[in-house]
Structure 1
Amino acid sequence: MSLATVALRAPLVLIPGFSLDDQLRKKGETCAGLPPSVGRVAHDLNQLHSGAAVLLDPGRANYSPSLLVHTRTYRLRLEPTKRGTGYLVKSIDPLRLSDHARLSRSCLLVRPPSWQMVPELRAVPDGSDAQWQDIETAWERLGTAYAEKHEVPSISEVQAEFLGTVDRLIDATEEITTREQRNAAPFPYRAISSTGGKRNTPRAMYEFQLVGRDLPPPGSFVRIQGEEETRGQVNRAEGRSVTVRFDQPVSWEKLPRQGALEITPSTVVFQKQRQAVAGFRSRDTKNSGLLPALVEHQVRHIPATPMLPRQELDPEQLAAFRRALTTEDLLVVLGPPGTGKTRTITEIAYTCATAGALGGGRTLVTSHTNRAVDNVLARLPEDLVVIRVGVEDKVHEDVKPLLLEWQTESLSQEIHHTATMREQAYRDAEAAQPWTVELAVRLDQVDALVQDEKTAALRLDASIQAVGAPHRERLTELRRQQADQEAVKERLDQRSAEVQAKLRSARERSDAWLTGWFHRSMARRRERQLGEVRDGARQAGALLTDLQTGIEGVRTDLDRAVREDPTVRTARDTREKVAQTLQAGIQEAYAAADMAVAALSAVVPGQPQPARRGDPAEVAAGLHDVHGRLERWLPLIAERRKLAEQWHAAVVQDPGQLVPELVRYAQVVGATCIGAASRAELSGVDFDLGIIDEAGQIGVADALVPLSRVRRGVLVGDDRQLPPFLDSEVEDWGEGIGDPALLRLMSQSALERLRSGLPASHVVQLTRQRRMPAEIADFISSAFYQGRLLTEKEHRHTDPLFASPMAFVDTAAQPDRARYESGGRLAENRYGRKGFFNTCEARLLARLAAFYHRRGSEWVVIVPYLAQRAAVIRELIPLIGDSQLANASVGSVDSYQGGECEVVLYGFTRSNPRGQIGFLKELRRANVAFSRAQRQLVMTGDLSTLLRADDPDFRKMADDLHRHLNSRGDLRTYQDVMHRLRAAAPDPEGDGT
């Protein structure tokens, strides 16, 4: 973490912003941690004795530079007053996880002598100073210290010169591209209406009824003349009506009923470009190696990886995939039309986002156009967390569910549903409280009964002991006599055995010759002894029998005495009653515990039911454990319920609080190059990989914007298609610039710059196209790609009009008056557009479009001039009866770059005896138009004009095209094709000429 303390010399004075009290009151209803009043803010700041954690925000399109000042629980946005005497408190918000994350990277600890709050600007004490310059200087030093700490190399002279040129490029581009808008005359209006019909609440969209024929172009930014805070964008312009969507809701009462709209050029793009340049210059970027790679083409080695994609890729795509995963700075992927750029990008994005072994992280998918971004996002697997950041009206229908606003709304609804169920669960869990109280009461009773049961048992034992005492004494004495007699009998049995053994020995020796008489005498003696011993043993046995009978009698007497004695009987009855009451109390305690645990389980699942035990003391101990667990949970449940209710209310009131969390967990984010920096939601978000699609259309200044946000970049595109600015535009602008380095940078895309400078290891060329039939692709390969484009597509031609997938309808045989172009003031008067139109070609293109429309084919008409587009649409609407489809399916070459379609109808428009072709000489325009076709390309034009074009490069291309059409295409005349079209469907006007 980078940290610096700023000890200021004077107090900092705060002034509450407009409606700050209302803002604080509304947020305080749903957000924890906010101060109870605005007056509390200064107190909270003064309690931060080590200083307040501060971040400096350089400002965005919609607000000025400001300080983000953090207390322990909330954050303030402070803007310096115009005179620099203090700070306006613009907003107060609770601290979020994203705030902690930003502070953990770097911050200033600002420590003034005190913080003061005054009620209004006029109350600021004389001599007060915001000390903005001191804070800004400290912030810059902190950034420098951070760069030095992390050993970020200083920028070289070449890099500094390059960044200076880019700054001049941004200035020049802004001046040139906004000149016409800045000089445009205002558009008077005579009436306003609310688009929703409601006037009592502020709305963002209103409809203006204009005076006069001129309309501001759709998409242009306007404001009401004299009203600085009413900036908006033209959503629709039709007839005399213009619909404007304002940046902020505007009250009906504040709108002048009559006035004028004036065009106000948007400077967001240029601001973001300048911020990106400043980031590179101050070394405040994610990877210090990107600038050397971009300027001096100094790159690091790309490590090999065995990673495989989900889908099969061809060898060149696989090479691009693997290098993109491990490049440490920049990689260029060149993809001619149909070579699978989008497929390759999706595999790179997916694997980068999910491959932990490669340190996978968040991926930014960006491009100059919304169409290119949407093409990629629409093909990403559903198991990725993908977010689209952009304007809903400009995002493709298939991708709208990925929009941040849509996902926020969806998540808000899901949270609302879940929170509602959760709150019900908490209400259900409230039943645990009375049951816990009931359990405590029952446990007190059980504890008392356990004690009573022990006392009753002791009393019973004492009664039994008292009644049975005499009998026990007699029993003891009899048992003693019995033991003594058993010992006597045992000795006699032993003596009997000994005498019997001696008798047997004497008898065995009684026949001896000399001693027989002695042994016979001993035998007789032993017989007498044995008789005496046996008599004694029989007497002892009889006595033992009498003793046992006596013992049993005494036992019987004892049992009878215990059973029949009134004292014992009373004690026993008492104990049994206590035991029964105890069991009943235990069951009631179990019931209360079961109900409490069941209620608690509504919000704390997995709670074990009380275990059933036999011993009352163990039962009581177990139930006390359950009661203790319940008492620990209940306060937590109450707090959780409060938090859940607050969170629910906060989300309902302001779903925007969910946005940082959605972005935080996103694996892939899609946005245009400028959108990636102009949306506040992405501020401070780190990206591991940035993929810039259609990079051949993107200028260096635009490319720097996403590159300043990523750790490494992959630029994908085709430098043989339309560049950011056409050569003819750069030539026109060059007359007023006079700076060769600036003009060179202006005419060059980021892709071109890198392709020509990076080593071969960092440039991958895709070569296998699968979009177009070979008849089309082979000409494109030869004319624009030095024959390197290979076709891997099986095509079965089934078109009923033309014998080849590549066809040309030549208007050269038509009369001059019919086939020649028109332009200038006639084009503006008839179609309201500059440029050229050709009625002959417009009619032909419209008839061809209607033919393919009736066949159910997917088709587009591409023309080079907006006036010709209007002419085609006018001819087409009566043929298909759908003005919306006609407007959507007829466009300029620029509008269709990056797209593809089954049938492409392209009209050259230019037809004149001098061979003038204007900006058609930009051959990349033809490449874009031709390469959109998936099955059929039909070109219309005047071959006599094209073959004698005043530009030699275009003339050569036209000559090559003519030869290719003769060998592998289908070259038809205007009359022939119109005859076929009339046969397929009669001309609504009768002649079709």
Structure 2
Amino acid sequence: MTTVRVFLPGPVAVIPSQKVRDQLAPRLRPAHLVDNINALARAGALPARMEEKHLAVYTDTHVVGLYVTELGDAYRLGWAAPRGFRDEERLLRGALLLGGAAGWHEYHQIRDVPRGVTSSHMALLRQAWADANRLQPPPPRLPPRHTEYLDLMEQVIEAGRDIEVARQRAEPPIHYRRRESTREERRSASGVYAFTLVRPTTLAAGAVVHLADQPELRGKVKRLEGTNLVVRFDGPIDYGRIPAQGALTVMPSDLVFRAQADAVAALRRGEVSNPEMLRWFVDRQLAPFRTDPMARPRRALDPGGQLPAFQKALAVPDVLLILGPPGTGKTRTITEIVAACTARGERVLVTSHTNRAVDNVLQQLPEDIRTVRVGNEDAMTGRARELMVENHVTAAREHILAATQAMASRLAVFTGEAEAAGRWLVHLTDSLDAAHRAEQEAAGLAASLDHAVRRAQAPLAGRLAATGSRAEAARAAAERLRARESQWEQRHARAHARAGAGPLAFFHRWLADRRLGRLHAVRRRLGPAHAELADATAAHDAVRAEADRLVAADPEATGLIGARDAAVGRRKDAAAEAGRSAEMLWAMVAQVVPVPPLAVPDDLAAWRVLRDQFGASVRMLRGRAGLLAEWRDGIGDAELDLQREFVRYADVVAATCIGTATSKLLAELQFDLAIVDEAGQISTPNLLVPLIRAKRCVLVGDHMQLPPYLDDEVRQWRESLARDAALPREAAREIGELLRHSAFERLYGTVPPDHQVMLAVQRRMPQEIGRFVSDAFYQGSLLTDHSGGGGDPVFTSPFAMVDTADLSAGERGERSAGRGEGGNGHGWVNPLEADLIVRLVTRYARHYRDWAVILPYRAQAERIRAGLRNTLGDGPQVADNVGTVDSFQGGERDLIVYGFTGSNPRGEVGFLTELRRLNVAVSRAKWQLVLVGDTTTLGAARDEGFRALMGRMLDHLGEAGDRRPSAEVRARLDRAEGEFL
């Protein structure tokens, strides 16, 4: 789409709704918006977009929604919203630029619009909008192989959606026998309640449930531990509305599948950040590139894969695959890539399938990188919660309020009901008015008093004039003589100064004597002149004193003198009050803006100039105070807008793959680089969701660890495709591959060598464990850099096994725990192994503080948890450190105890045939690995691949490990327990 200019040939009428008037009041009126629309239209620069039901018009400050009236001759202004960055992005995608000289006019009601004069010009606008859309380049024509690939992807997504929704609908209600409120810290007013279930369930965190028979009371599963279920409801909920015993119902959701389908649709339309994406996945065609050998990370990276991965990630134009076996420092490598890319101004998306994987990367990111975490708070770690966009907004709001508090306090005197500055300005004006009145009154009284004085002094007028004339003449004569005296003194001094030497000295002595004589003559006359002045002055003063007595005896004159003196006093008092007001106003203004020192004027004209200056300052600061107060008040109302801006200006945005599509905060946001961790576990439909948002990507994973998860129903559907005659065999095979293998696994080894790199040095496991992992899963290419084991109290090697094959089949055998292992068939328990593991961990807990027990089945995990609670206590250590393989992907412990559980004469090992699960389990150990299992079952497994792996493992135990019969281990534990007791 592009921008099209449209000239509107006639006037346009706008009728603001009452809702808009109320919304904008009191700070803004619709007329202001219409005035701005007119100004932009006259310049031919009024942006607008045709939306589904209205015309969106963009003023300088707002976006307004205009709806055509029934007659089509006017618009109703239905809403107005502040213009933000998302609006700018919409305009960049295409707009109409409206112009015209006829103008836009506001009318209060529709009946006020003159008929036949105005028009909405809607036909013209729709045509221009259609033209703008036609100018948009058509979507690319996809090669048939790309279309077929996307068709198959849609089949996979739709089948997954149908299976999942059907499964959710078939789920029976989850009954609980007790409910209670919790006191958990939370960042919203939502109600959080704990339910004790009647029996365990397989609900996952994030699942949406509602109270049976009360669908409006819905919430998300926050945590599930055994039969303890914690639910965060969507809003506050009255405790009394929750039955003491009842049931929860799972609400079907296809949110994940909609996000996947949207990604496929975007690929089909070509609306992706990198239009070459399909060439990666279908054709394995990638652009050649050259790395910069001088690129260096902040922290040291080893040359055995980490540094080459870092350098390639900075240069790759499309996709780089980093194979990160256990303990090779993939998180360290990722953080250095992130730091380098953000340092050069790139926006990076960090994502993975699970919240834990995302948060593991965030743990190591430098604090100077602006990082925002988006997603479900309940599924995040503590560090990630600190980076949540909500917390960024809260911190920014508090910082802004704190930073502006001092200014707001200083400006408080210019606003509010008790506006001090305004009151002092009024007081200054009143004081100046009072001074002006007093001055005018004093001037009028002075004229009347002059007339009264002349009348009272009339009998002495002649004498006053005569004595005054004589005194003035005597004063003038004396001043003339003093002037001549000064003149002759100066002349004498000059002649005397030259009379000391030189050829004319005699002449200057003569001249000095002559001028001294003149000076003495003047001084002789000056004495009588002074005497005459004194006599004349005394005579005049006597007559004046007599005249003053006449005035004092005149009632009219004395009254006027009193009135005049009172007016002068009032003028002085008013001027003093004006000065006090000016000092207060100056102090208030000086706290906010720089002002020159206060100079108190002498006359009222200068006072009025100063008052006008204060008035202008008060008006300016009153407006500033109002804007600041409005901003401080409004910052709490702009939560979502602020969140969007924080996300938009973040260096790094972190979210799960699906979270990048389901969070509204990330809508329409594009990234320079997407880094996908644990990509080997992510199905292709899930992987596409974040990748369509990035210009280039780095996939970090290990396809020799956990694969994408498939439940029984999807696996059965995949197997049924082979029997579907309507589906071509090649398509069925491709769908099977899409389901069975991650995109990372399918790409690694098939893309050009420059686009993949392996991190080849592991530092987590001792050599004994690392060599087995390397030989069994990485063709011997994984090297070890580790200091070795740490003196285990039970075994002589870091790679150890307790072999239960020394016992009878009845003692060591497995037992069915029923169906329900997360859709993966039967659950199994092994009482003998559970007892051994509980005793081992109880012994080890005094030696290894950081331990974990990994099991293939949840039922066995729960049995061991129960046993450890009896020996170690019912604390978080037991709950967090015992679980299935999936829960420990990406983690590590000093001690790992892995129980195989399976023991039967049939050689059945269940889903242990997924060999990569064993890789995950054994590669978690930092110092000691203890395996517990029945080697007769493991070594004779019916699955050929698993049997071969077990043979290799048993050989390695014989060469570098410590394999003990279970009876010997139990005896040693008996002795240790006796010593401890």
Q: TM-score range by the shorter chain?
A: 0.7 to 0.9
Classify 1:96/1:291 alpha carbon distance in 2 versus 1 (closer, same or farther; 3 Å). farther
The answer to whether 1:220 aligns with 2:207 is yes
CA distance in 1, matches of 2:708, 2:718: 15
Farther off after superposition, 642-651 or 375-384:
642-651
Letter of the 1:542 partner, please give it.
D
Q: 2:267 aligns with which of 280, 285, 292?
A: 280
The answer to whether 1:762 aligns with 2:746 is no
Q: 1:942 aligns with which of 929, 934, 942?
A: 934
Farther off after superposition, 880-889 or 134-143:
134-143
2:346 is matched with which residue?
Answer: 361
Conserved in 2, the CA contact under 8 Å of 1:305 and 1:322? yes
Classify 1:809/1:487 alpha carbon distance in 2 versus 1 (closer, same or farther; 3 Å). closer
- Per the TM alignment, residue 252 of structure 1 is displaced from its structure 2 partner at its CA by 8.4
Q: 2:515 aligns with which of 544, 552, 555?
A: 544
1:639 is matched with which residue?
Answer: 623
CA distance in 1, matches of 2:127, 2:169: 35
Q: 1:341 aligns with which of 330, 333, 346?
A: 330
- Per the TM alignment, residue 233 of structure 1 is displaced from its structure 2 partner at its CA by 2.7
Equivalenced residues, count: 879
2:549 is matched with which residue?
Answer: none
The answer to whether 1:309 aligns with 2:302 is no
The answer to whether 1:787 aligns with 2:774 is no
Conserved in 2, the CA contact under 8 Å of 1:388 and 1:399? yes
Conserved in 1, the CA contact under 8 Å of 2:205 and 2:221? yes
- Per the TM alignment, residue 700 of structure 1 is displaced from its structure 2 partner at its CA by 1.7
Q: 2:661 aligns with which of 677, 684, 707?
A: 677
Letter of the 2:760 partner, please give it.
T
Letter of the 1:935 partner, please give it.
W
Conserved in 2, the CA contact under 8 Å of 1:56 and 1:66? yes
- Per the TM alignment, residue 800 of structure 1 is displaced from its structure 2 partner at its CA by 0.5
Q: 2:651 aligns with which of 646, 667, 672?
A: 667
CA distance in 2, matches of 1:786, 1:554: 136
1:385 is matched with which residue?
Answer: 370
Q: 2:887 aligns with which of 895, 899, 909?
A: 895
- Per the TM alignment, residue 214 of structure 1 is displaced from its structure 2 partner at its CA by 7.3
1:860 is matched with which residue?
Answer: 852
Secondary structure of the residue that 2:707 maps to in structure 1?
A: coil
CA distance in 2, matches of 1:193, 1:772: 44
Q: 1:268 aligns with which of 252, 255, 263?
A: 255
The answer to whether 1:797 aligns with 2:772 is no
Letter of the 1:367 partner, please give it.
S
CA distance in 1, matches of 2:79, 2:894: 55
The answer to whether 1:105 aligns with 2:92 is yes
Conserved in 2, the CA contact under 8 Å of 1:155 and 1:281? yes
2:468 is matched with which residue?
Answer: none
Q: CA RMSD in A?
A: 5.9
CA distance in 2, matches of 1:564, 1:933: 126
Q: 2:976 aligns with which of 972, 984, 988?
A: 984
Letter of the 1:382 partner, please give it.
E
Conserved in 1, the CA contact under 8 Å of 2:773 and 2:919? yes
Conserved in 2, the CA contact under 8 Å of 1:908 and 1:939? yes
- Per the TM alignment, residue 904 of structure 1 is displaced from its structure 2 partner at its CA by 0.9
- Per the TM alignment, residue 71 of structure 1 is displaced from its structure 2 partner at its CA by 6.8
CA distance in 2, matches of 1:583, 1:266: 84
Conserved in 1, the CA contact under 8 Å of 2:583 and 2:598? no
- In structure 2, runs of 5+ residues without a counterpart are 9-13, 69-75, 99-103, 110-121, 443-470, 545-569, 723-731
2:318 is matched with which residue?
Answer: 329
Classify 1:43/1:483 alpha carbon distance in 2 versus 1 (closer, same or farther; 3 Å). closer
- Per the TM alignment, residue 793 of structure 1 is displaced from its structure 2 partner at its CA by 1.8
1:173 is matched with which residue?
Answer: 160
- Per the TM alignment, residue 934 of structure 1 is displaced from its structure 2 partner at its CA by 1.0
The answer to whether 1:599 aligns with 2:588 is yes
Letter of the 2:672 partner, please give it.
D
Classify 1:240/1:673 alpha carbon distance in 2 versus 1 (closer, same or farther; 3 Å). closer
Classify 1:983/1:146 alpha carbon distance in 2 versus 1 (closer, same or farther; 3 Å). farther
Letter of the 1:363 partner, please give it.
V
2:837 is matched with which residue?
Answer: 845
- Per the TM alignment, residue 345 of structure 1 is displaced from its structure 2 partner at its CA by 1.1
Conserved in 1, the CA contact under 8 Å of 2:63 and 2:82? yes
Q: 2:221 aligns with which of 221, 224, 234?
A: 234
CA distance in 2, matches of 1:408, 1:194: 28
Classify 1:433/1:947 alpha carbon distance in 2 versus 1 (closer, same or farther; 3 Å). same
- Per the TM alignment, residue 392 of structure 1 is displaced from its structure 2 partner at its CA by 1.8
Secondary structure of the residue that 1:812 maps to in structure 2?
A: helix
CA distance in 1, matches of 2:234, 2:372: 22
Letter of the 1:544 partner, please give it.
R
Classify 1:633/1:283 alpha carbon distance in 2 versus 1 (closer, same or farther; 3 Å). farther
Instruction: Deviation per CA, 1:137-184: give whole Å up to 9, x if none.
Output: 999986785667xxx976544433333332222212223344422332
Q: 1:708 aligns with which of 676, 688, 692?
A: 692
Conserved in 1, the CA contact under 8 Å of 2:298 and 2:336? yes
CA distance in 2, matches of 1:466, 1:154: 119
Classify 1:881/1:556 alpha carbon distance in 2 versus 1 (closer, same or farther; 3 Å). farther
Classify 1:412/1:557 alpha carbon distance in 2 versus 1 (closer, same or farther; 3 Å). farther
Secondary structure of the residue that 1:756 maps to in structure 2?
A: coil
Q: 2:701 aligns with which of 717, 736, 761?
A: 717
Aligned counterparts, 1:398-797, within 5 A = 398-415=383-400, 422-427=407-412, 431-433=420-422, 539-547=510-518, 595-604=584-593, 607=594, 610=597, 631-652=615-636, 655-725=639-709, 732-738=716-722, 739-797=732-790
CA distance in 2, matches of 1:210, 1:66: 51
- Per the TM alignment, residue 771 of structure 1 is displaced from its structure 2 partner at its CA by 0.9
1:373 is matched with which residue?
Answer: 358
- Per the TM alignment, residue 340 of structure 1 is displaced from its structure 2 partner at its CA by 0.7
Letter of the 1:803 partner, please give it.
T
Conserved in 2, the CA contact under 8 Å of 1:730 and 1:743? no
Conserved in 2, the CA contact under 8 Å of 1:52 and 1:110? yes
Conserved in 2, the CA contact under 8 Å of 1:486 and 1:544? no
Conserved in 2, the CA contact under 8 Å of 1:726 and 1:922? no
Conserved in 1, the CA contact under 8 Å of 2:718 and 2:736? yes
CA distance in 2, matches of 1:43, 1:676: 41
Letter of the 1:774 partner, please give it.
Q
- Per the TM alignment, residue 470 of structure 1 is displaced from its structure 2 partner at its CA by 5.1
1:129 is matched with which residue?
Answer: none
Classify 1:557/1:588 alpha carbon distance in 2 versus 1 (closer, same or farther; 3 Å). farther
CA distance in 1, matches of 2:232, 2:753: 48
Work out the percentage of aligned pairs sharing the same amino acid: 35
Classify 1:624/1:290 alpha carbon distance in 2 versus 1 (closer, same or farther; 3 Å). farther
CA distance in 2, matches of 1:48, 1:491: 89
Conserved in 1, the CA contact under 8 Å of 2:217 and 2:233? yes
Classify 1:334/1:424 alpha carbon distance in 2 versus 1 (closer, same or farther; 3 Å). same
- Per the TM alignment, residue 760 of structure 1 is displaced from its structure 2 partner at its CA by 1.9
CA distance in 1, matches of 2:241, 2:38: 40
1:819 is matched with which residue?
Answer: 812
Conserved in 2, the CA contact under 8 Å of 1:806 and 1:970? yes
CA distance in 2, matches of 1:277, 1:865: 35
Conserved in 2, the CA contact under 8 Å of 1:34 and 1:74? no
Instruction: Deviation per CA, 1:688-740: give whole Å up to 9, x if none.
Output: 22111111111221121111222321111112111214699875332233422
- Per the TM alignment, residue 806 of structure 1 is displaced from its structure 2 partner at its CA by 1.0
1:122 is matched with which residue?
Answer: none
CA distance in 1, matches of 2:858, 2:740: 23
Classify 1:593/1:309 alpha carbon distance in 2 versus 1 (closer, same or farther; 3 Å). farther
CA distance in 2, matches of 1:590, 1:68: 55
Conserved in 1, the CA contact under 8 Å of 2:191 and 2:234? yes
What TM-score do the two structures reach when normalised by structure 1? 0.73
CA distance in 2, matches of 1:674, 1:79: 36
Conserved in 2, the CA contact under 8 Å of 1:412 and 1:655? no
Q: 2:307 aligns with which of 318, 326, 329?
A: 318
- Per the TM alignment, residue 850 of structure 1 is displaced from its structure 2 partner at its CA by 2.0
Classify 1:930/1:655 alpha carbon distance in 2 versus 1 (closer, same or farther; 3 Å). same
